[in-house]
Every structure is written in structure tokens, then in C-alpha cells.
Chains A and B, each alone.
Chain A
Amino acid sequence: MARQFMKGCEAIAEAAVRSGCRFFAGYPITPQNEIPEYLSRRMPEVGGTFVQGESEVASINIIYGAAQTGTRAMTSSSSCGISLMSEGLSFLAGARVPMVVVNVQRGGPGIGAIQPAQQDYNQATKASGNGGFQMMVWAPSTVQEAVDMTYAAFDYAQRDRNPVMILADGVLGTIMEPVVLPEPRSAEEVARLKAICRPWALVGHNPETEQRALVDSGDWNTKKMEQKCIDNAALYESWQAEAQAEELFLEDAEVVVTAYGISGRIAKSAVKLLRAEGIKVGMIRPRTVNPFPAASYEKLDYGRVKAILDVEMSIPAQMVNDVRLAVKDRCPVETCLHAGGEIMGRREIMDAVRALYR
């Protein structure tokens, strides 16, 4: 397939359509407006539905309704908008309804800044709403990766009957770069994927001959509710085997840089430049941040690794807590940080690595 020059947000939107997404609801917020704008044009072309909700609160609940019919559905927002979606995400996860949510992160807390940041790591991976639910959270670092992860996210969501989050950021949302788009799923395939959901979906069942559908995040019966929590926990536990990370130059690394998303991409470039200088530096870039790829840190040779440098566009650092849990005090974990819409630079990462390398 020929590569196309696409903006991150539009590439994510197109990947969703090609994966079979036929329903989108969202509300304007910078820097993700190109996703709803693109889908408002694109959805009617494929027989899908686009709704501009009156708020993020409404949008996530419109998706809650649409996804209950087995229709592949997505919403997107940014940071403070995602906060407003917490309620709906919790219901989706509680009722085990599949959907995909894209967070194109901006500065925070509060209204923060419209510029890129990675200030929502804890929210995405630990508590996107009440009740201790979890989502698989994929963290792309290039537009191509955003496309591939979005395309796959709908399959994970349907497999698990659970929301999946794409944790992007304002840089990825707004940059344009070449991408190779996946093959679109045919109308027949999209219909088949929806039909698979029929047993549990809110599509109307014959009360005399079929089991009715009850899509519900709660239960009056505490024993049954406890069992729901136990089943959910088993699902979350099962993801551990699917954690992914990109690893680079770890064989002889004495300092390891770790970063996800846009910071991961910038860090990778810094690591390559340092290698060219002869500095033994490596990199671990989580591609899934939930599940967190702890195994990549577990297998490091702590006799050789002097320090780990955690690079994030978040102050205070957030992913660093998961890194420290994985490293278990076997070497120091330092940070190199920006926030508020300030973008990480390669040179400052390189300086920070050099300081640890001495």
C-alpha cells in the first residue's frame, strides 16, 4: 500500500473507520477537533453515525448506548474532557461494553494548556472513573503506531467487552507524517462483527424464545456484584501477558532511558545520537502503559545498569511510579521532565543521560 501524508487525528479517525467503527460521538476540545470533524464527513460515507454531543458527559453516554447494540463505537477528547467522561467510562467498564476512547492529551491540571503534554498517565492507567475498573491503554509514539493501535483496539475491546484507551498527545494529534493505512473491513465483515454481539446486545430479544439482554453495571445482589468485580479483576490480570515495549540497545546499556508516547519518540532519537557518541545508553519505551511492561525492567542486568532516566512531559512525573515498582530499588531512577505544553527537547535528554553516565 502506498503511504499517505496524514495528520495524526485524521489518521486515527480513518483507522477507526477501517477497523469497523460505525458510530462516533464527541464534543469539541483542542487539540483533537480534527477527529470529530473528519468523522462528521466520513461516517455517512460508510453508513455510520456521527453525533456531536452537547457535552463530553453526553457524548460518552451516547457511546454507551450505541456500543450496547454491538456497533463498534468510539469517542475522543482531551484531558479535561476525558475527566468529564469518567462517569460514562466507569459504566461502560462496569457493564462490560466494548468501545474505544482516544485521549489526545494537553496540559493540566484543570484547563491547563491547549498545547501537548502527558499529564494524564495516572488517570488513564489507574482511575479513569470510580470503582477501580481498568482499561487496556495503548500509547502510540508515531502516527503509524497510532493507526495500528487504533485499528487493533476495536478487536481488543470486542474480545474483552471492555473499553480500550488510546493515550495520545497533542503532538501526535497535530503532526502530519507518512502512514500506511490498514485495509478497510468490508461492510459484510462489519455486519458480522456486530452480529456476534447479539446475545448480550440491546437490540431486542424475543422474551418467549430468547434470553433478554440486560446491560447493567450494577447488581442489587451483593454476592453477584462481588462476582462481577472478581471477573473484572481476572480480565485485567490476563492482560499482563500482553504488555508491550520497544527495547533498544539494552545488551550493554549502562544508562537506560524510559519514556512513552511522544517523549518515547524524542528519547529514542536522543539515545541514537548518544550511541553515535559512544555512550552506552539503552531505551525501554512502553507501548502499553496498562498493562505496564514490567518484564522489560525485570530483565535488566542491574550489575551493569547504573541508572534509569524517566522522561515525561508531566510534572510531577507519573509513569515513574510504575518504573520504580518494576525496578525495585535495584538502581536509581531519575527524571527529565517538562509540563504545561512545553515540549521535551533531545538535547536536555542527552545532557541528563551524560550526567548519569559519568
Chain B
Amino acid sequence: MEKIYSRTKLLREDMVSGFCPGCMHGTIFKMIGEVLEELHMESKVAMVLGVGCCGLAKEYVTYDNTTCPHGRGCATATGVKRANPETLVFTYQGDGDLASIGLAETMSAANRGENFTVIFVNNGIYGMTGGQLAPTTLVGMKASTAPKGRNPKEHGYPMHVCEILNQLTAPYYLERCSCNNPANTRKTKAAIKKAFQNQIEGKGFSLVEIVTSCPTNWGLDPLDALGFLEDKMLKEFPLGVIRDKSKEEA
């Protein structure tokens, strides 16, 4: 019988993931591994991991990676990529990391059109530290530091990173995806692949936002969390291509 699917070799087989049930980090890291293999870049890759649950992955992947200070992913990646342009460099950051503490680094790297890729995982909450208010928390959504829910008068509104970056001239590719169903998961993988290919071709800054769930800190079981994601999160953060300069070039 022909083997049509096998697990990516870029995730260690001798480790059990510490991600919570219903968390989508595992799916995303699996897809990243598959894409790297498909592009034959597994020996040329450098991952810059943000701070948060995603940092657990430093032990799970078989390829080169580094952990950097909270929010500084795009600065560290700037250094790695510019010092060794032949390396495929990507950051993997959550919403607190990328859009709160690291907003300056994200905006500035995007504005310089740095030739690396950002995988931005947006679940509307701080995971590892325990469910605090994030820049992307929905209005009314409860957080451990906003026990009555996000109140626009006090906390403002959820931040739309792709739309903000779309005000800049330099970014090459911005797409918002999700992993809420098989079709969207496949689209996410295609977006990651496209973002990496852009980098290999020297096109500049690409960011793939992936809207995900955090059942643990949302206080929901995985299935209900998926429902919340589809009913609420994707209303606030509609999926689609926000910018694709390759279309303009075509």
C-alpha cells in the first residue's frame, strides 16, 4: 500500500507536547514542519520564538531556534536574517508578545520591510501567564485582569494587527487565517508556505495571523472554545488576504 501521509520529521518523536487540549499551537508547528520539508529548508531554518506558551516548542522541534525577550522577536529576527541572509528566518509570536510589549519592534521591522516571516498566533488572551487582558481581547470578554470583561471605556477596543500593518508601504504579504476547520487549516498551511516562499525569493516582510482558541484561559472546553472562536473571534477578526503584493505585481 502506498504511504500517503507521515508525521513531519521536524517534530521530535520522543517528546509529548505540553500544549493544552484544544490548543492549536501543535497543529501550527506540525504544518510549519511540513512546509519546511516541502521547501527542503529544514537545514537552513532559524526560528525565533516569542515568550509565552509557544516557547514550549523550543524542545519539540529538531531545527535551529532561539528564545528572545518578550516582544523582541522582530528585532532578534532582523539581526539573524541580516547577518545570514541565506537562512530562512521566522518568528513565532502570540498576541501579547507581538501586539502589546513588542508592538514597536513589529511595526518597525514591518516598516523596514525586513525579509523574514512572522507567524502571529492570536487567541485574544495571555496564555502562559494565566488569562490576562490582551490587546486583542474581545469587548466584554473576561480576563484575569479584566474580571468584568473588556470595557472599551477603560481598555479600548481589540487591535487589528494586519489592518494596522496594511497602512505601511513596505510589507509584502499579510493574511489572516484560522485552524477552526480542515478547510481553513489547509488555507493556513498554504499561507505559511507562501510567506516562506516570499522570503526565499527576497520579497520582504510577510505576516500570517492565525486566529486560534485558548480553551484553558477562556474557561471553555475545546469544543465550546471552537464555537466561541467561530461565533465571536472570527467576527472581530475576519479571515482573508489583507495584502498580497504579488497580485499587484502580476
Contacts and interface: CB of A to CB of B under 8 A. Distances in A.
Contact, chains A and B (beta carbon distance below 8 A) = yes
Interface string B58-69: 110011111111
A88 B71 CA distance: 12
Interface string B72-100: 10011111111110011000000000000
B245 interface: no
B72 A203 contact: no
Given A58-B104, A203-B84, A91 B43 contact: no
Size class of the contact patch on chain A = 35 or more
Contacts of B83: 22-23, 49, 65-69, 71, 73
Given A55-B104, A62-B75, A206 B68 contact: no
Q: Which secondary structure dominates where chain B touches chain A?
A: mixed
A216 interface: yes
A356 interface: no
B79 A213 contact: no
Interface in A191-237: 202-208, 212-218, 220
Given A67-B79, A69-B87, A220-B59, 16 more contacts: A25-B79, A58-B72, A58-B75, A61-B68, A61-B75, A61-B76, A64-B72, A65-B66, A65-B81, A202-B46, A202-B65, A202-B84, A204-B43, A213-B66, A215-B66, A216-B58
A96 to B, nearest CB: 12
Considering residues B44, B66, B77, which has the most beta carbons from chain A within 10 angstroms of its beta carbon? B66
A229 B81 CA distance: 29
A162 to B, nearest CB: 16
B62 to A, nearest CB: 4
B46 A203 contact: yes
Contact of A64 (B9, B10, B56, B79): B79
Nearest to A55: B104
A49 B56 CA distance: 32
A58 B81 CA distance: 15
A202 B64 contact: yes
Contacts of B45: 204
A61 B69 contact: yes
B105 interface: yes
A212 B62 contact: yes
B58 A214 contact: yes
18 contacts: A55-B104, A61-B105, A62-B79, A64-B79, A65-B75, A67-B79, A67-B83, A68-B79, A68-B80, A91-B68, A202-B64, A203-B87, A205-B43, A207-B63, A213-B66, A214-B58, A216-B67, A218-B67
B68 A65 contact: yes
A65 B58 contact: no
B79 to A, nearest CB: 3
A63 B68 CA distance: 11
Interface of A: 22-23, 25, 49, 51, 53-55, 57-59, 61-69, 71, 73, 87-88, 91, 95, 202-208, 212-218, 220
B48 interface: yes
Contacts of A203: 46, 64, 84, 87
A207 B42 contact: yes
Given A49-B82, A205-B43, A65 B63 contact: no
B43 A65 contact: no
B151 interface: no
Contact of A216 (B42, B43, B56, B66): B66
B105 A51 contact: no
B108 interface: yes
B66 A214 contact: yes
Contacts of B42: 206-207
Interface in B85-129: 87-88, 104-105, 107-108
A65 B88 CA distance: 13
Contacts of A95: 66-67
Contacts of B80: 65-66, 68-69, 202
Contact of A204 (B58, B64, B76, B82): B64
B79 A63 contact: yes
